[in-house]
Amino acid sequence: MQTQERASASYEKKKSNESYQIKVQYGRFLLERAIYEKDERTPYSTLKKANMEWKTVLLNNEAQKFYVYKQMYLYPSYIEVYGGQFTEKEYNNTVKMLENMSMTIRKTAYSKHHLKEREQAIKHLEKAQKGLLKTVIKG
């Protein structure tokens, strides 16, 4: 029985490790498509979906965090295009989402690997927060 449980756990871990690529690319696809087509009907929902995909990778795939760090450049562009369309509640949730992603990146950084990329990712998130604030000032 223990052998079967170990085999099952091993399979699940392998399956999870392989799916990180899909999660990273799917999040990127969602935001890039919306940025370039500029026709997103549910911008907050799309942002939240991409954020959850990336956060899952950060929390579950130790060796794959680098790939998520490299996607953070999309947040400021997305906020620039859609930030003004958020309701007050969505705005507040987005502020929390960006802060939470930044904290998650910091908390899951167990080593000094990819330090430059990690710091750059945090800068992109800070830029997105500033851009979000600008949408409120304009509005």
- Per-residue pLDDT reduced to its tens digit, 20-62: 889 999 999 999 999 999 988 999 999 999 999 999 999 987 6
Asked whether 20 and 64 are in contact (CB, 8 A), the reply is: yes
| pLDDT at residue 65 tops 80 | yes
Average pLDDT rounded to a whole number, residues 65-86: 95
- Per the model's pLDDT, the better-predicted residue between 76 and 14 turns out to be 76
Average pLDDT rounded to a whole number, residues 63-75: 91
- Say how far apart CA 13 and CA 101 lie, in whole Å: 23
DSSP E strands: which ranges in 1-139?
none
Q: What is the pLDDT of residues 82-132, one digit of tens each?
A: 999 999 999 999 999 999 999 999 987 767 778 899 999 999 999 999 999
Q: What number of H helices and E strands is found in the chain?
A: 6, 0
- Say how far apart CA 38 and CA 22 lie, in whole Å: 23
Q: Number of C-alpha atoms within 13 angstroms, CB side, residue 85?
A: 15
- pLDDT for 11: 46
Give this prediction's pTM: 0.83
